[in-house]
Amino acid sequence: MRAACLQLRVDLCQKEKNSAKALDMAKQAIDQGAEILVFPELFITGFCYGETPEEPPYPSLNPFEALARDHDCLIIGSIMAEKYNFGFCLDPSGTAFQPKIHPFEQEKLHFLGGDSISPLKTKLGKVGLQICYDLRFPEVARSLALQGADFLVTVGQFPAQRLAHWRVLCLARAIENQLPHLACNWANAGGSLIIDARGRVQAEAGQDSEEAIFGEVDYAMRDQWREEIFYLRERRPAVY
């Protein structure tokens, strides 16, 4: 399956501008064969704490739901909704949500942390979704992997001064769980990655650049690698 990380610049509180740009980038990626489209964290509003978080049915997602129906694709990102930084996976069959587990610093004044972790079921498989700061906690990705996630996705607004951490952590989560990893950061810092289940970088975006990168989510290769060596089967939770 062809996947795209859409590393766009997120302008704070510029909802219409961000949404229009996101839709334009998504259409271009679809024209290049993408079936899975991943946006950065809070790509529509940024951390616009002055804006009232959305309530169901989350109207800002309407044009993206239409895009998914029209092109039979899977779209992944996060929005400010209710009391959460709400990660979402939407496809023609509907939308599934996973709140951010670990709000970061000032976020704690505005958002609750999610209190459960599970992969999101989509037409293209089970998505293990992490939101930005969650990447620093290996327990999140491990829990998703143990529950049968088919691939990992991280949507982020990592800052430029911590991009070295971002890159290493993205690679580590793929390697330690033997899962493909689509990691989309905002263009304000950059460094988005598409990593296969063996931990090899398929595509990497530049820093401070608005661009799309493409790669493959290859279940057959993942399964072949896990037949060679499967870390999760060798775990000894009773010891640690």
AA identity, residue 215: G
pLDDT digits (tens, 9 = 90+) for 160-207: 999 999 999 999 999 999 999 999 999 999 999 999 999 999 999 999
CATH code of the domain covering residue 218? 3.60.110.10
Q: How many angstroms separate the Cα of 42 from the Cα of each of 22, 51, 129, 192, 237?
A: 11, 12, 14, 15, 35
pLDDT of residue 81: 95
Apex 227 CA angle, 116 and 173, nearest 5? 40
Q: Residue 83: which domain range?
A: 2-234
What percent of the chain lies above the pLDDT cut of 90? Answer: 100
Residue 117: inside a domain, yes or no?
yes
Residue 240: inside a domain, yes or no?
no
What percent of the chain lies above the pLDDT cut of 70? Answer: 100
Residue 50: inside a domain, yes or no?
yes
> SS3 letters for the chain?
CEEEEEECCCCCCCHHHHHHHHHHHHHHHHHCCCCEEECCCCCCCCCCCCCCCECCCCHHHHHHHHHHHHHCCEEEEEEEECCEEEEEEEECCEEEEEECCCCCHHHHHCCCCCCCCCCEEECCEEEEEEEHHHHHCHHHHHHHHHCCCCEEEEECCCCHHHHHHHHHHHHHHHHHHCCCEEEECCCCCECCEEECCCCCEEEECCECCCEEEEEECCHHHHHHHHHHCCHHHHCCCCCC
pLDDT of residue 222: 98
Residue 239: inside a domain, yes or no?
no
AA identity, residue 216: E
Mean pLDDT of the chain: 97
Residue with tokens 């829990």: 143
pLDDT of residue 218: 98
pLDDT of residue 204: 98
Quote the number of domains for the chain.
1
pLDDT of residue 142: 98
Neighbour-count burial of 64, counting CB atoms closer than 10 A to its CB (0-12 exposed, 13-18 middle, 19+ buried) = buried
- Which pair of tokens denotes residue 224? 């072949």
Residue 216: inside a domain, yes or no?
yes
For the segment 89-109, the average pLDDT, to the nearest whole number, is: 96
pLDDT of residue 97: 97
pLDDT of residue 136: 98
Residue 10: inside a domain, yes or no?
yes
- Which pair of tokens denotes residue 206? 């530049």
Residue 28: inside a domain, yes or no?
yes
pLDDT band of 41, cuts 50, 70, 90: very high
pLDDT of residue 26: 98
pLDDT band of 39, cuts 50, 70, 90: very high
Residue 18: inside a domain, yes or no?
yes
pLDDT of residue 152: 99
CA distance 20 to 41: 16
Q: Which of 220, 221, 181 is nearest to 204 (CA)?
A: 181
